[in-house]
């Protein structure tokens, strides 16, 4: 049984995550600030976290970037085009949005070692 000074080991966590259908991070009281390593979106809620095809949470990505075991966007450019189309508006014009994503996306884990 889990008491005050015992942290469940990783296998126990995985099992609990499955049973309660919450991510391991949420189960531990969200000690880590999860961010999608593909698009940079904060993952504040388990409903936004991607899952492996077998139903396990994959806490590295949002469910829009990683679905059914596959990455949705094949390149930074593809993702940037999509994001610019969705987030830009009068106060955040497309050129500004594109500059922002061009500066930030390549620093995320998923893209870091892939392309410039």
Residues that bind Zn ion (CB under 5 A): 36, 38-39, 62, 65
**3-class state of residue 27 by DSSP:** helix
**Which residues lie closer than 8 Å to 24 by C-beta, 6 or more apart?**
13, 14, 16, 17, 57, 59
In the complex, minimum distance from the CB of residue 7 to Zn ion, in angstroms, rounded to a whole number:
28
Instruction: Quote the least distance from Cβ 39 to Zn ion, whole Å.
Output: 3
DSSP tag of 35: B
Angle (CA) 39-51-110 rounded to 5° is 30
Nearest distance from C-beta of residue 81 to Zn ion, angstroms: 15
Name which of 28 and 67 has its Cβ closer to Zn ion.
67
**Residue 67 φ/ψ, nearest 5 degrees:** -135, 135
Q: Cβ of residue 88: shortest distance to Zn ion, in angstroms?
A: 17
């Amino acid at each position: 049984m889990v008491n005050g000074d015992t942290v469940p080991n990783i296998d126990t966590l995985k099992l609990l995550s499955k049973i309660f259908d919450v991510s391991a991070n949420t189960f531990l009281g969200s000690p880590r600030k999860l961010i999608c390593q593909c698009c940079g979106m904060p993952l504040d809620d388990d409903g936004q976290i991607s899952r492996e095809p077998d139903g396990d949470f994959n806490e590295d990505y949002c469910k829009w970037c990683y679905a059914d075991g596959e990455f949705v966007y094949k390149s930074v450019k593809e993702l940037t085009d999509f994001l610019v189309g969705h987030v830009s508006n009068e106060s955040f014009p497309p050129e500004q949005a594109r500059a922002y994503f061009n500066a930030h996306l390549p620093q995320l884990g998923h893209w870091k070692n892939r392309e410039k």
